[in-house]
RNA sequence: GCGCCCGUAGCUCAGCGGAUAGAGCAGGGGACUUCUAAUCCCAAGGCCGCAGGUUCGAAUCCUGCCGGGCGCACCA
């Protein structure tokens, strides 16, 4: 069903025979035929034969008759393959009959830990958390759909010195008042108030420092107040996740504090392994290959000079638990690019300690910043960071207004539902549609545009497929014959068959913009098909075939968008 | 100083060893007695930052520059 793989499987033995060793035929879509294989060119030097001759020898041996209408050598030595219409139709029909759209559940499932979102307790979620949350959730959805055991970890910032100040402020306010403030989502106000008191009032500073000591010493009352802060914040974060359509739940919170009682063992074991050195009073690991400002080896500070633990220790403890107790073989860290070196060092030390060894591997899925229209880091008018809820609320409001304008017949409820799906979808899609590692510019006009590579365009294409299916009345069985005559039908068929390839590729690379690009291409192909190939006005076999193509396109768009965490609506 | 990321159409981005570098937007031209025009079609638009190198072949790999961003010991 996966055409690219099918052709690869057919060409590989032929290439291998000709070359006398294993060769990847390098099959890809071609502007000059349906597919092309480029491997003969690369082989020419090794075999000392002209590439065209090699290509011909491969074609002489390869079994392609049942799939290809034409297979020929072209140019300097490309192999051009044209798929037989009947074979193509057969594959599309098989695809339509498959609930999983040609993407089987993986044969070797693994345990994958996805560490993402990670907001800080008693601090507002801002656009910086948007990317981690959206990308991480897409990873969770995709890997889960493929049958892997996915463990979501929301590595909350719930520990450290700021909590002394926050708890002291909470006491000043009174618990009820503080809880009220936090539950309505005024986290920044709470944090700022604590901060400014800390900066201005020496007596408050003393109380704050005492609270840090009490908290770390396990004082029950301080712990209770701390829990209160954490719980109120979690409640608030969950409302944001719900609005964002993210699958994170309360069960996924595993804050930094969860590793407290393991930090001692981490340091102790690293020491026993001879990996630690005292340096300027701090206990450090010096993984090879990392140098700092003056060319000196760069330390990973596992325990600070004052005896406290920093986040390297926490990250090591978390990693060890994930590969050890959770048995994970793939660790994904969806954290901004600036942390790249930190994670490289953590992974290196974990490798040295034997906590991270094949088949287990860790990947830092770094990402760039969200920029404003001026090309600089997105800021609010006041110059502070933009509250994530504000951003989401504005997206929904804009999309709802847009829906009303475009389709005045919608009632309030429908407009609201569409506004939500489109607004949130637009934000998430804009985030996922470009290369993760790059910064991107948040531009309302562009991401809510009704054409172009945007969520609304894809959602509209989906709504059109549903509209056609609804109007058809009769449901077309999956056993309907597919007939492909028009070029637009063929083009759509090829795109539909490419879903599995993209899904597998993205599962490997976590480059979600590849999936987004695929879905946009699919929607584009469908729109062209829709324009040129009447479905409901066609008769008999052709009508049934086109209905099935329409339905299959809709299912693929819905599934693809769902994997990205984006909703579809039945009408727009 | 060292390290990482990024310089591709006016704008936002794909492409990251293969044939004539692709989309979308904006701008130009066309298609609504509609299966939802929130759409489609056509034309136009490029020293792929610069300079070397490797290769049969380079936007893609290597080296050096230039420009932008971000990191580089006790905040997470």
3-state secondary structure of A2: coil
Q: Cβ-count burial of A200 within 10 angstroms (0-12 exposed, 13-18 middle, 19+ buried)?
A: exposed
- The separation, in Å, between residue A448 CA and nucleotide B16 C1' comes to 29
Q: What are the pLDDT digits (tens) for A67-116?
A: 999 999 988 889 999 999 999 999 999 999 999 999 999 999 999 999 99
- Residue of least CA–C1' distance to B24: A452
**pLDDT for residue A326:** 94
- The separation, in Å, between residue A341 CA and nucleotide B72 C1' comes to 9
**pLDDT for residue A76:** 87
Closest CA relative to residue A349, chosen from A434, A283, A403: A283
Across chain A, mean pLDDT equals 90
DSSP assignment of A102-150: T-PPPSS--EEEEE---PBTTS--BHHHHHHHHHHHHHHHHHHHTT-EE
- What is the number of alpha carbons within 13 Å of residue A291 lying toward its C-beta? 5
**pLDDT for residue A24:** 86
**Is pLDDT above 70 for A5?**
yes
- The separation, in Å, between residue A525 CA and nucleotide B4 C1' comes to 39
- The separation, in Å, between residue A558 CA and nucleotide B76 C1' comes to 39
- Residue of least CA–C1' distance to B71: A338
**pLDDT for residue A176:** 87
Residue A437 CA to residue A417 CA, distance in Å, equals: 32
User: Which distant-in-sequence residues (6+ apart) come within 8 Å of A474 by Cβ?
Assistant: none
DSSP assignment of A429-481: HHHHSS-TTS-EE--HHHHT-SSSSSHHHHHHHHHHHHHHHHHH-SPPPTTPP
Q: Are strands A370-371 and A440-441 parallel, antiparallel or unpaired?
A: parallel
3-state secondary structure of A504: helix
Nearest nucleotide to the CA of A434, by C1', is B13
3-state secondary structure of A72: strand
Nearest nucleotide to the CA of A284, by C1', is B73
Element (H, E) at A238: helix A220-244
Helix runs in A48-114, H state only:
51-61, 85-96
- The separation, in Å, between residue A208 CA and nucleotide B29 C1' comes to 70
- The separation, in Å, between residue A339 CA and nucleotide B52 C1' comes to 34
- Residue of least CA–C1' distance to B34: A531
Nearest nucleotide to the CA of A570, by C1', is B36
Residue A488 CA to residue A57 CA, distance in Å, equals: 34
SS3 content of chain A, % helix, strand, coil (to 5): 55, 10, 35
The position carrying tokens 């770390």 is A216
Q: CATH for A3-83?
A: 3.30.1360.70
Local confidence band at A118 (pLDDT 50, 70, 90 cut-offs): very high
Nearest nucleotide to the CA of A155, by C1', is B76
Instruction: Provide the residue ranges of all domains of chain A, joining segments of one domain with +.
Output: 3-83, 162-248, 388-447, 456-564
**Is pLDDT above 70 for A381?**
no
Q: Cis omega (within 30 of 0) on the bond before A363? A: no
Query: What ipTM was reported for this prediction?
Result: 0.94
Nearest nucleotide to the CA of A304, by C1', is B74
Nearest nucleotide to the CA of A459, by C1', is B38
The position carrying tokens 């693994």 is A110
- The separation, in Å, between residue A49 CA and nucleotide B54 C1' comes to 22
Max CA-CA distance within chain A? 88
**pLDDT for residue A1:** 56
- Residue of least CA–C1' distance to B31: A531
- Residue of least CA–C1' distance to B14: A517
**pLDDT for residue A478:** 65
The position carrying tokens 């900066």 is A199
Nearest nucleotide to the CA of A26, by C1', is B18
Q: A456-564: CATH homologous superfamily?
A: Isoleucyl-tRNA Synthetase; Domain 1 (1.10.730.10)
- The separation, in Å, between residue A407 CA and nucleotide B29 C1' comes to 28
Q: What are the pLDDT digits (tens) for A491-533?
A: 999 999 999 999 999 999 999 999 999 999 999 999 999 999 9
Residue A83 CA to residue A68 CA, distance in Å, equals: 4
**Is pLDDT above 90 for A223?**
yes
Closest CA relative to residue A502, chosen from A560, A433, A416: A560
Residue A1 CA to residue A318 CA, distance in Å, equals: 41
DSSP assignment of A379-422: --TTSSPPBHHHHHHHHHHHHHHHHHHH-TT--HHHHHHHHHHH
Nearest nucleotide to the CA of A531, by C1', is B40
**Is pLDDT above 80 for A344?**
yes
Q: What are the pLDDT digits (tens) for A416-465?
A: 999 999 999 999 999 999 999 988 888 888 888 888 899 999 999 999 99
Geometric angle at alpha carbon A132, from A513 and A456, rounded to 5°: 45
- The separation, in Å, between residue A7 CA and nucleotide B37 C1' comes to 39
Query: Which one has a higher pLDDT value, A296 or A460?
Result: A460
Q: What are the pLDDT digits (tens) for A521-569?
A: 999 999 999 999 999 988 888 999 999 999 999 999 999 999 999 999 9
- The separation, in Å, between residue A157 CA and nucleotide B6 C1' comes to 30
Q: Are strands A111-115 and A330-333 parallel, antiparallel or unpaired?
A: parallel
Strand partners, A72: A80
The nucleotides of chain B lying under 7 Å from a protein CB are 1-6, 12-20, 22-25, 35-41, 55-57, 69-76
Residue A444 CA to residue A393 CA, distance in Å, equals: 13
- The separation, in Å, between residue A531 CA and nucleotide B10 C1' comes to 31
Nearest nucleotide to the CA of A368, by C1', is B5
Three-state SS sequence of A250-309? HHHECCHHHHHHHHHHHHHHHHHCCCEEEECCEEEECCCCCECCCCCECCEEEECCCCCC
Nearest nucleotide to the CA of A44, by C1', is B56
CB of A429 closer than 8 Å to CB of A567: no
**Is pLDDT above 80 for A275?**
yes
**pLDDT for residue A382:** 65
Average pLDDT, integer, range A313-335? 95
- The separation, in Å, between residue A290 CA and nucleotide B64 C1' comes to 24
């Amino acid at each position: 069903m996966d055409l690219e793989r099918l052709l690869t499987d057919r060409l590989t033995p032929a290439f291998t025979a000709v070359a006398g060793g294993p060769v990847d035929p390098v099959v890809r879509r071609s502007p000059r035929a349906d597919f092309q294989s480029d491997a003969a060119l690369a082989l020419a030097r090794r075999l000392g034969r002209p590439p065209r001759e090699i290509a011909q020898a491969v074609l002489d041996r390869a079994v392609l008759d049942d799939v290809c209408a034409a297979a020929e050598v072209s140019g300097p030595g490309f192999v051009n393959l044209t798929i037989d219409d009947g074979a193509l139709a057969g594959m599309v029909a098989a695809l339509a009959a498959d609930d999983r759209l040609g993407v089987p559940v993986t044969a070797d499932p693994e345990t994958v830990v996805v560490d993402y979102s990670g907001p800080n307790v008693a601090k507002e979620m801002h656009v910086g958390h948007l990317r981690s949350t959206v990308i991480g959730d897409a990873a969770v959805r995709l890997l889960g759909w493929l049958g892997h055991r996915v463990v979501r970890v929301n590595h909350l910032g719930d520990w450290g010195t700021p909590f002394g100040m926050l708890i002291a402020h909470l006491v000043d306010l009174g618990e009820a008042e503080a809880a009220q403030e936090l539950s309505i989502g005024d986290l920044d106000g709470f944090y700022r108030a604590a901060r400014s008191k800390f900066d201005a009032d020496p007596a408050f500073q003393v109380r704050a420092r005492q609270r840090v000591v009490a908290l770390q010493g396990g004082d029950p009352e301080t712990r209770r107040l701390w829990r209160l802060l954490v719980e109120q914040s979690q409640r608030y974060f969950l409302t944001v996740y719900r609005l964002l359509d993210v699958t994170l739940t309360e069960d996924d919170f595993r804050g930094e504090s969860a590793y407290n009682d393991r930090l001692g063992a981490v340091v102790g074991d690293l020491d026993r392994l001879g990996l630690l050195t005292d340096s300027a009073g701090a206990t450090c690991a010096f993984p090879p290959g990392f140098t700092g400002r003056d060319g000196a080896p760069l330390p990973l500070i596992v325990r600070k000079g004052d005896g406290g633990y920093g986040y390297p220790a926490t990250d090591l403890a978390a990693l060890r638990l994930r590969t050890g107790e959770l048995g994970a073989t793939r660790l994904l860290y969806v954290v901004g690019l600036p942390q790249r070196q930190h994670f490289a060092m953590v992974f290196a030390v974990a490798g040295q300690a034997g906590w991270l060894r094949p088949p287990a591997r860790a990947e830092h899925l770094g990402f760039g910043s969200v920029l404003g229209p001026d090309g600089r880091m997105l800021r609010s008018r006041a110059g502070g960071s933009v509250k994530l809820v504000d951003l989401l609320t504005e997206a929904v409001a804009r999309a709802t207004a847009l829906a009303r304008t475009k389709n005045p017949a919608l009632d309030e409820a429908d407009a609201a539902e569409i506004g939500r799906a489109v607004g949130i979808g637009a934000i998430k899609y804009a985030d996922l549609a470009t290369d993760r590692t790059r910064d991107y510019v948040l531009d309302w006009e562009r991401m809510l545009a009704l054409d172009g590579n945007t969520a609304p365009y894809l959602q509209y294409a989906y709504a059109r497929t549903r509209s056609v299916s609804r109007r058809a009345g009769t449901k077309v069985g999956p056993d309907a014959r597919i007939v492909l005559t028009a070029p637009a039908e063929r083009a759509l068929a090829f795109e539909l068959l490419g879903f599995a390839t993209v899904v597998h590729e993205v599962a490997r690379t976590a480059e979600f913009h590849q999936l987004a690009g695929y879905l946009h291409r699919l929607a584009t192909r469908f729109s062209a098909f829709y324009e040129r190939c009447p479905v409901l006005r066609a008769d008999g076999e052709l009508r049934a075939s086109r209905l099935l193509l329409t339905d299959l396109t809709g299912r693929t768009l819905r599934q693809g968008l769902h994997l990205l965490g984006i909703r579809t609506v039945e009408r727009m």
